[in-house]
């Protein structure tokens, strides 16, 4: 057996470098929207940080959509609905922080969510759940901050810190982009897969 990771396809999301000062002072979350993916603490944190969330993806059900609408941070959510790959790329280069604060369920603790690497490729720092596996990527590449994904205050503080320290945030974004280009692309995984197929012949 061999592990093949679902890393970004550069041709889909590779963007030209976008000047940091042309981006909005906002955060984004792209993907399936559910309680286990930490959306409620994230939206609640907006009421503390005052930061706007650009949200895109499909709701897991009507209940979660209503919970978001009932949150004190709801007025700071800009929901884009389900968008295509080109629109994802455009959204990612318009913001300054990518959020991946999934809750510590067994399936997420050892996962490598593609959104983490897509945010990094877009040149934005990430705020990620403090899982040991993710810590090795985020802190190992100095490309973002780690938080307890259930801690509303920690999420808000991390958002404010990055937006209050723009030079460091921009540097983290550059670090993440460089790390993806060197280590976390689908091209590298495809090479591994083809080599594995050749061994089986």
Q: How far is CA 19 from the centre of its chain?
A: 19
Q: How many helices (H) and strands (E) does the chain have?
A: 10, 6
Band (pLDDT 50/70/90 cuts) for residue 15 is low
Check residue 185 and report its DSSP letter.
-
Q: Are 130 and 148 in contact (CB under 8 A)?
A: yes
Distance between CA atoms of residues 100 and 178, nearest Å:
19
- The edge-to-edge listing of strands for the beta sheet with 144-147 is 77-79, 52-56, 26-30, 97-100, 126-129, 144-147
What is the model's pLDDT at position 13? 65
Distance between CA atoms of residues 193 and 2, nearest Å:
8
| Range of weakest confidence among 3-7, 69-73, 87-91, 158-162 | 3-7
Average of pLDDT values for 6-18? Answer: 71
pLDDT, one tens digit per residue, over 99-153 is 999 999 988 988 889 899 999 999 999 999 999 999 999 999 999 999 999 999 9
Distance between CA atoms of residues 71 and 33, nearest Å:
15
What is the model's pLDDT at position 16? 60
Q: What is the pTM of this model?
A: 0.90
């Amino acid at each position: 057996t061999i592990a093949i990771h679902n890393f970004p396809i550069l041709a889909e999301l590779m963007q030209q470098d976008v000047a940091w000062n042309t981006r909005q002072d906002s955060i984004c979350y792209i993907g399936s929207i559910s309680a286990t993916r930490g959306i409620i603490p994230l939206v609640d944190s907006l009421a503390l940080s005052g930061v706007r969330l650009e949200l895109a993806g499909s709701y897991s059900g009507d209940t979660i959509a209503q919970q978001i609408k009932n949150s004190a941070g709801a007025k700071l959510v800009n929901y884009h609905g389900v968008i295509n790959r080109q629109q994802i790329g455009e959204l990612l280069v318009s913001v300054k922080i990518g959020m991946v604060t999934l809750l510590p369920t067994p399936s997420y603790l050892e996962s490598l969510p593609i959104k983490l690497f897509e945010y990094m490729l877009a040149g934005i720092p990430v705020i990620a759940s403090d899982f040991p596996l993710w810590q090795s990527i985020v802190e190992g590449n100095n490309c973002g901050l780690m938080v307890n994904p259930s801690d509303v205050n920690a999420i808000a503080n991390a958002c404010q810190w990055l937006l209050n320290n723009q030079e460091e945030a921009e540097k983290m974004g550059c670090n993440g982009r460089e790390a993806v280009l060197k280590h976390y692309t689908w091209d590298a995984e495809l090479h591994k897969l083809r080599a594995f197929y050749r061994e089986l012949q």
